[in-house]
Amino acid sequence: MRPDKLALSTFILALALDLSPPTQAASHREAPLIAQDPVADITDVYAFISYDADNTLRPAVQRRVTLIMNSLPGQNPADGPNYFSFGDDVTYRLNIDNNRDGKADDIVYEFRFKTENRPLGGTLNTPLAFVALPPITVLDGAGSEGIMRRQTYTVTEVRGSQRTPLFAGQTLVAVPSNAGPRTMPDYEALAAKGIYSGSCADGTPGVRVFVGQRKETFAIDLGASFDTLNFRRQPLPLLTTAEDANDAANPFGVNRFAGTNVNSIALEIPVTCLTRDHQPVADEKAPNALIGLYANTSRNKVQVLRTNGGPIADSPPVQVQRMGNPLVNELIINTSSKDYWNTQSPEQEAQFQNFYQAPVIATALQLVFGVPVPATPRKDLMTVLLKYPDQSLSGTDCGTPCSELLRLNMGVLPVAAESQHRLGPLAHDTLGNPTPDPASWPNGRRPNDDVTDIAVRVVGGANYIAAMAGDGVNAVLDAPGAGVSDGPGYGSISGNHLDVTINGIAKEFPFLPTPHDGRGTTP
């Protein structure tokens, strides 16, 4: 969930017009209540055909989809001794619609966590939550004694009333925060041990999961945005054609999320486990090619005392946040409705359709920059964000179904990391010739898609596309190991890095770079 640099600026103006306090970019602290609950704060949701070298060579029948949800935004790597963990009392879910009825309840992948305190050597309780004597080299067994607070987790596939635990017989351990080289002498080798293999509920092999800390790949000049749109290029933050086409340089912006980490849940699944007919996807026009999804977090809201004097019991889980497409709650939903929007299911989006028809962010763009935006009602935004490609609006009304989901066409070929364009459908070369990347958002979403620049230009319309407005942050240039390659295979050579492009795109599962370590990083 990332806002364009320019878009974010205008977003901030929109917030000011709403007389509400500012929030962070993307889904980072985007609503008042979730800002107080960081472990349940979904910062980003990604869905894409895996683009590692192995998967891009597979025939369509064997391709895999990677789903990622991130939480707990903007982590300073040095913030110990209690580092960053998932919530034991939070349920994290990835929800999938594979029959295009707008209800993402056909397949659900549910993650639950449990934290254990582990005295060093079974007897020594240190005054710190993270003191590794000896160093941590594995996640379980001999060599893991230094993990003083360890999180394990379960993954459950839910199809209707059928609940199937995945990765049976394995102890799934969340990879802990990267404290530093004395605590974790080879963090990448340690993280590689946190990739577990298994099967779907129907026995189809090829499922992988990773849970743990990763480097934050969302990039934006948040400081300039919140200083009343005080961008670092004046009077308007416009990129030249060559700058806009360069995905490996930041022309003038300062990335607020440089040097920061995030908690990630990454699940890779064979395409045939996601289609409604359990069949492979022949091409992008295949009837089973399209899925929709969103992520949500929920809590047991309160503990209640039974009226008959019985024991205390947890109330039913309450959804505290959801996310499908990036930027919806940030840039489209008005502030007074943001907390309520987080509690609703995507198929209930018709109640919010007025926000899509006349988005405040579009008005803000025109007020700040004096450049006209498309007239309302914005049927184009409703079509892209609330409908599948073969579904029509009912006049200016959303019609049925009306559902805010991140939609992925699993028949579109993956694009290798080195060839991805941050602007997706709006990408161009240094001469301005179109070079569209069909595997980019809004067709799913990859970690380094510049959804902010794309969104602000789409919301602003043709004038903003032509102007190439942006915050001057095009790439993640501080990813550990960027530009260093040891060939395929995560951590295949000790001391070398997970393969990452120069602009911060991780080329292997879990497709997010190694996190910064606490000792060596100053965000």
Examine the pLDDT at 515 and tell me if it is beyond 90: yes
**188 in a structural domain:** yes
CA distances from 495 to 78, 194, 470, 504, 510 (A): 21, 17, 37, 19, 19
Residue found by looking up tokens 């579904």 in the block: 391
**Structure tokens that stand for 99 in this block:** 């029959």
Examine the pLDDT at 263 and tell me if it is beyond 90: yes
pLDDT > 70 in the chain, percent: 85
pLDDT of residue 455: 86
Run of H or E residues at 45: strand 42-49
Q: Please tell me the distance from the alpha carbon of residue 390 to that of residue 392, in angstroms, as a whole number.
A: 7
Examine the pLDDT at 139 and tell me if it is beyond 90: yes
Examine the pLDDT at 156 and tell me if it is beyond 80: yes
CB 135 within 8 A of CB 185: yes
**69 in a structural domain:** yes
Examine the pLDDT at 13 and tell me if it is beyond 50: no
**512 in a structural domain:** no
- What does the pLDDT average to over 186-207? 95
**135 in a structural domain:** yes
Closest CA to 344 of 320, 309, 368, 313: 320
Q: How confident is the prediction for the chain on average, in pLDDT?
A: 86
Q: Render pLDDT for 488-500 as a digit per residue (tens, 0 to 9).
A: 677 666 666 788 9
pLDDT of residue 131: 52
- Specify which of 85-99, 112-126, 215-229 reaches the highest per-range mean pLDDT: 85-99
pLDDT of residue 80: 85
CA distances from 489 to 31, 130, 142 (A): 39, 29, 24
**209 in a structural domain:** yes
- What does the pLDDT average to over 473-499? 79
**Which position has the higher pLDDT, 462 or 59?**
462
Q: Please tell me the distance from the alpha carbon of residue 475 to that of residue 247, in angstroms, as a whole number.
A: 6
Query: Distance between the two ends of the chain, CA-based, in angstroms?
Result: 21
Task: Give the burial string for 372-401 (b: 16+ CB within 10 Å, else e).
Answer: ebbeebbbebbbebbbbeebebeeeebbeb
Q: Please tell me the distance from the alpha carbon of residue 244 to that of residue 246, in angstroms, as a whole number.
A: 6
**480 in a structural domain:** no
**377 in a structural domain:** yes
Closest CA to 4 of 418, 444, 355, 12: 12
- What does the pLDDT average to over 479-486? 83
Backbone angles phi, psi at 254, to 5 degrees: -120, 120
Domain that holds residue 226: 5-467
**82 in a structural domain:** yes
Q: Please tell me the distance from the alpha carbon of residue 267 to that of residue 510, in angstroms, as a whole number.
A: 8
Q: What sign for the dihedral angle of Cα 268, 261, 16, 3?
A: negative
CA 66 remoteness from chain centre: 11
Strand ranges for 361-495 from DSSP E? 406-409
The residues near 16 (Cβ < 8 Å, ≥ 6 apart) are 22
pLDDT band at 369 (very low <50, low <70, confident <90, very high): confident
**Which position has the higher pLDDT, 390 or 14?**
390
CB 215 within 8 A of CB 261: yes
Residue found by looking up tokens 């929920």 in the block: 298
Task: Give the burial string for 58-73 (b: 16+ CB within 10 Å, else e).
Answer: bebeebbbbbbbbbbb
The number of folded domains in the chain is 1
CA distances from 48 to 60, 212, 270, 282, 344 (A): 14, 20, 12, 16, 25
CB 290 within 8 A of CB 401: no
Angle between helix 451-460 and 379-386 (nearest 10): 150
Q: Quick one: residue 327, left, alpha or beta (phi over 0 = left, psi -120 to 50 = alpha)?
A: left
Examine the pLDDT at 132 and tell me if it is beyond 60: no
- What does the pLDDT average to over 367-374? 87
Q: How are beta strands 149-159 and 172-173 bridged, if at all?
A: antiparallel
Q: What sections of 290-394 are H helices per DSSP?
A: 338-343, 353-357, 360-369, 379-386
**Which position has the higher pLDDT, 51 or 330?**
51
Task: Dump the DSSP string for 201-228.
Answer: TTS-EEEEEEEEEEE------HHHHHTT
